[in-house]
Amino acid sequence: MVKNDAKRIERCIRSLQNSVDHIVVLDTGSSDGTDEIAEMMKVEVHRIEWPGAFDKALNILLEKVHTEWTFRVDSDEWLMPDMRPRFAEIMALNDCFLAGVHRRNLTGPKAYSDDVSYRLWRTDPEMRYVGFVHEYFSEPVMKRKRKEWKIALSGVRLMHDGYLNIDWAEKHRRNLELVRRELAERPGQLNYEVCEIDGMMFLQEPGWEPRLIEVVDRILTIEGRPEPMNITVALKYFLDKVADADASVRTQRVCDFIRSKLGDCPSVVRALADYDGRQGNISEQIRGYQALVEMGRTQKYSSAVAVNPYEITVYPLRKLIEIAEQTGDSNLEQSASQELQKYRV
């Protein structure tokens, strides 16, 4: 699905041509020739007016797909070379209906984050999106599918540069409007409430702090591991922005919640280690930074939320060196410095 992306649509399509059997493009009202470029590349092109929501547009596109498997790509993404064997590996799994794809999000010169996006699935009329923005597959359908099928992690790799040279304020304004429409239609979704708080914070809208606290209190009632994992961003925001002035039982519960349930999530482990440091809890601070270093060393961590590699390599090592210098711990300083040399900084 695309609109007004003439500069990138050719790159996207060319990256797919040697790895997939058929390409379908849905243009939602381009005025810059994007659709004509796609047609010149001999792919199937359909045109509609923007229907006002991402799920509606994407579901129109999915109606046009008739191959055995569906692979969704946005125009600001491109497939890494020689991925056909990686697709074949997943398609050979008779018990798999959905697969995650590794995605690298370029965020600046030599800067990026990594995540896993579930973009590859067996074509099925039940597999349709829900959500005005940040769309997702229907949860009742997913529960039904999981009873008979498995979800896998593929070796397919995507690159994404949609976060470069972007008007973030405009993006947040657009998404915040769509998020609020989503919540008006389907209230009570924690993941969208976190998205709303994110937009309010960026745009400096008043009222974000009490909204954040209310959402954090609800997250703390969750038994087991939170789903979807993006709601854990609210815990990071709380520790980074609110906890220092919140001398309540709530803050301790947030810390305990992270330690017991989210020890493999880099962003909240980092926020907790930083908070422990500000509170003078040096032993827990060291433990948190060492956990991050271990994630970077082993590459074992949750990728359900985008991970900045700096957060599990250079940042915690530099923090450990700072602590070692302040406390006179020569062993800690030596080990962290040696590890830091691996990253050539």
Mean per-residue pLDDT for 19-24? 97
pLDDT in tens, 166-206: 999 999 999 999 999 999 999 999 999 999 999 999 999 99
Mean per-residue pLDDT for 211-218? 97
Give percent of the chain with pLDDT exceeding 70. 100
Looking at residue 171, its pLDDT comes to 96
Longest dimension (CA), the chain: 66
Contact of 272 with 259, CB cutoff 8 Å: yes
Q: Note the pTM of the prediction, 2 decimals.
A: 0.91
pLDDT in tens, 273-305: 999 999 999 999 999 999 999 999 999 999 778
Return the HEC string of the chain. Answer: CECCCCCCHHHHHHHHCCCCCCCEEEECCCCCCHHHHHHHCCCEEEECCCCCCHHHHHHHHHCCCCCCEEECCCCCEEECCCCHHHHHHHHCCCCEEEEEEEEEEEEECCEEEEEEEEEEEECCCCCCEECCCCCEECHHHHHHHHHHCEEEEEEEEEEECCCCCCCHHHHHHHHHHHHHHHHHHCCCCHHHHHHHHHHHHHCCCCCHHHHHHHHHHHHCCCCCCCCCHHHHHHHHHHHHHCHHHCCCHHHHHHHHHHHHHCCCCHHHHHHHHHHHHHCCCHHHHHHHHHHHHHHHHHCCCCCCCCECHHHHCHHHHHHHHHHHHHHCCHHHHHHHHHHHHCCCC
Looking at residue 328, its pLDDT comes to 97
Given a cut of 80, whether residue 247 has pLDDT beyond it is no
Given a cut of 80, whether residue 344 has pLDDT beyond it is no
Looking at residue 227, its pLDDT comes to 84
Of 118, 107, 113, the closest CA to residue 161 belongs to 107
Question: What's the mean per-residue pLDDT of the chain?
Answer: 95
Domain boundaries, the chain: 9-160, 207-341
Mean per-residue pLDDT for 56-74? 98
pLDDT band at 125 (very low <50, low <70, confident <90, very high): very high
Given a cut of 80, whether residue 245 has pLDDT beyond it is yes
**For residue 228, cis peptide bond before it (omega within 30 degrees of 0):** yes
Looking at residue 228, its pLDDT comes to 82
Looking at residue 160, its pLDDT comes to 98
Given a cut of 90, whether residue 316 has pLDDT beyond it is yes
Mean per-residue pLDDT for 118-135? 97
Mean per-residue pLDDT for 235-240? 96
pLDDT band at 266 (very low <50, low <70, confident <90, very high): very high
Looking at residue 223, its pLDDT comes to 94
Give percent of the chain with pLDDT exceeding 90. 92
Looking at residue 313, its pLDDT comes to 95
Residues 6+ apart with CB under 8 A from 302: 229, 262, 264, 265, 266
Q: Does domain 9-160 have CATH number 3.40.718.10?
A: no
Looking at residue 305, its pLDDT comes to 81
Q: Which residue has the tokens 């974000």?
A: 208
Contact of 270 with 262, CB cutoff 8 Å: no
d(CA 300, CA 193) in angstroms, rounded, equals 29
Return the HEC string of 70-94. Answer: EECCCCCEEECCCCHHHHHHHHCCC
Looking at residue 345, its pLDDT comes to 52
pLDDT band at 159 (very low <50, low <70, confident <90, very high): very high
Mean per-residue pLDDT for 50-70? 98
Mean per-residue pLDDT for 113-130? 96
